[in-house]
Structure 1
Amino acid sequence: MQTLLGSTELQYAMMFTLQKIDRIRLEDFKPFFNDLPVDPYIKGKYRQRRLSRFKVSSDEVVKLPHGHLFQSKNYNPLVGDMKREYAELDDGLIQLVEFKKLLFAFSDFCKLNSVALEVGVHQIRTSCSPDNFGNPAPEGIHRDGTDLIGIFAVDRENVEGGETHLYRNRKQDPVFKQVLNPGELLLVNDREFFHYTTPIKPLTEGIGTRDVFVLTCPSLIED
């Protein structure tokens, strides 16, 4: 697995890694970020989101039945201990060959580090304006409460900020901090690291957007 980590971080390479995935056409994803529903659980209406879960085998991606997202307050003090309902990913997106490539790439990492049989896919747009900065991680420095996570950057339009950090614990400096550029996939062992992404603001007047897929294994989705 190719790593882009610096020399001081190589000791963690088996627990997190950053890949540039050139074989995925990002343009195919972009139209599906334009009609995401607003996340009703976050104040400010700056985050839009869809969510689905899948079983991924060596050559097949199967969408699983709808469920609700649930995290303990131990992991998400902002909206934990509640059932959260989100719209499913668009069928057109799920049918894309590029989407399946992304799930296969994440599944390969999961097979090495987890016994879970399903993954969750969060499709998220964070928006910002001069009067309303967007916060990709309103819960602060946190773990998701799963085995593994993947953050795949699809697009950044008219934004600065949005730097992703990884921490061994909340009281230490981050062992990784970098803006994820389009086409980059950060894979993280959620049992070992806390993560956080800094707020975004527009580079120029107008709206800015940051589009990502966040993948989890297990999915954190319950019936």
Structure 2
Amino acid sequence: MQKVWESTELEYAFLFTLRKVNSINTEGFKAFFNNLPVDPYIKGNYRSRRLSRFTVSGDNLIKLPHGYLLQSKDYNQLLGDIKREFAELDDALIELDIFKNLVLAFIDSCKLHPEAEIGVHQIRTTCSPDNLGNPAPEGIHRDGTDFIGIFSVTRENIQGGETHLYTAKKEKPVFSKILHPGELVLVNDHEFFHFTTPIKPQTEGQGIRDVFVLTSPSLLTEV
């Protein structure tokens, strides 16, 4: 399996890692964020989302059947115990080499089992002068998975959107950073809570934050 990361290890390196992915040109992803369906489970119409799950065979991605996302209320007080269903990722996106590289590198970096299932969430959060965008409406939380990767694709006309990691909800964050396009943070979900601060526009007009969130296990179950 190929390795595509240029990396900088931080404190708690075995528990979370910040990486700059020089081999992936985020421009190739941008068009696929323009047709995301609005997330019907969040009030305000500021978040749009697609979701698919994969395994790998060698260096090839295998897309798994459609399923629904289900988290316990122990992890998601806002939407826990609700079966959430989202449109699948665009087939043309999945066929891109840069997308395959992102998923394979997530697997390799987290040392996942070759048959591990990976969920890929494609998420756009928007904001306007009248409305903030909230990338984490559930607050400081864990996802209830093993590993999480947050990969930044686009930041346009926004301030905020800083990613925080915590060892406990009531403690100060041990990591705080705005993820710029091409940067990714890998997190052990058993060890850290995470949160991303709300976004607002820098100038008049709409602001946009586009990310891929990868998880293993996927937290998806077949319908």
On whether the aligned pair clears a TM of 0.5, the verdict is yes
Aligned partner of 1:3 in structure 2 is: 8
Percent of matched pairs sharing the same residue: 68
Shift, 1:40, TM fit: 0.2
Query: Residues 70-219 of structure 1: matches in 2 within 5 Å?
Result: 70-111=70-111, 117-219=116-218
Indicate the SS of the match to 1:139: coil
Secondary structure, counterpart of 1:29 in structure 2: helix
Structure with the largest fraction of helix: 1
- In structure 2, C-alpha distance between the alignment counterparts of 1:54 and 1:152, rounded to whole Å: 17
In 2, the alpha carbon distance for the partners of 1:3 and 1:156 equals 22
The C-alpha deviation readout for 1:179-217, integer Å capped at 9, x for no partner, is 000000100000000000000000000000000000000
SS of 2:110's equivalent in the other structure is helix
Once residues 37 and 203 of structure 2 are traced to their aligned partners in structure 1, the CA distance between those partners, rounded to angstroms, is 25
Judging changes above 3 Å, is the alpha-carbon distance between structure 1 residues 193 and 115 closer, same or farther for their aligned structure 2 residues?
farther
Shift of the alpha carbon at 1:116? 6.4
* SS state at 1:111 partner: coil
Deviation at 1:117, TM superposition (A): 1.2
CA distance change for structure 1 residues 46 and 146 in 2, over 3 Å: closer, same or farther? same
- In the superposition, the TM-score normalised over structure 2's length comes to 0.95
Secondary structure, in 3 states, of the residue corresponding to 1:169? coil
Figure out how many residues of one structure are paired with residues of the other and give that number: 217
d(CA) in 2 for partners of 1:183 and 1:111?
21
TM-score by length of 1: 0.95
Which 4+ runs in 1 deviate beyond 6 A? none
* Structural RMSD (CA): 1.3
2:42 is aligned to: 42
State how far apart, in whole Å, the 2-side matches of 1:141 and 1:75 are.
Answer: 10
* In 1, Cα distance between equivalents of 2:115 and 2:167: 23
Q: Deviations over 1:91-119 (max 9, x none)?
A: 0000001000000110112325x686110
